Amino acid sequence: NNGLNVVNRFEDQDTMKMVEFQVAAKPMKDLSIALTLLYGHETPPSLNSTGDGTYLFDLVVAYTMDKLTLGLNFDKSSIQSVANSAPGSRGPLSGVALYAKYAFTDTLSEALRIEYFSDKEGVLVGGANGCRVFSITATTEMKVAQQLILRFELRADNSNDAIFTRGGGDAGLRAAHGDYTLGFEAIMPF
């Protein structure tokens, strides 16, 4: 998720704000837990919301054992009275991600992330019968300098509904049940 902008947009589409509550704990040296709750009015006009109440519950758990880090991220969200839902009801959203990252050396690591997202009413993603997306991502991370990290990612997404598009040009776009993405990041921490 992208923090305070729960509905995954780059611009603020209303004048309302959200409230964030967060608790973080480190019950053991290698275990960290963070619990976040966001609540407010953050629904874009395209969803035709009348109630406009949005909440997001986010749980992140990470456990590190020497060179291996295991993680869990669970999100549950809901948007009040959106167009695809019955009047007065909520459009439920949920997702879970499991990940493992192994540091082979101080400069090279590999990670695998498995994700599942459910949009039962088709509120954000669309789809006539709601949508479920399963994704898997493999990441290679290289620290090439003190202030430069390079990441390469290969991601595969698969959905029960044809929410992706393929093609273009003379043939035009056509609906697809899956997508592949190749990504590259250059990070300069300071």
| CA distance linking residue 94 with residue 161, whole number of Å | 17
| CATH label, 18-187, candidates 1.20.1560.10, 3.40.50.720, 2.40.160.10, 3.40.50.970 | 2.40.160.10
State pLDDT tens for residues 36-72: 999 887 655 555 555 567 888 999 999 999 999 999 9
Please list, in sequence order, all residues whose beta carbon lies within 8 angstroms of the beta carbon of residue 180, skipping any fewer than 6 positions away: 154, 155, 156, 157
Strand, coil or helix: 136: strand
| CA distance linking residue 164 with residue 12, whole number of Å | 25
Higher per-residue confidence, 189 vs 12: 189
State pLDDT tens for residues 142-182: 999 999 999 999 999 998 887 777 777 676 787 888 889 99
Question: What is the value of pTM for the model shown?
Answer: 0.77
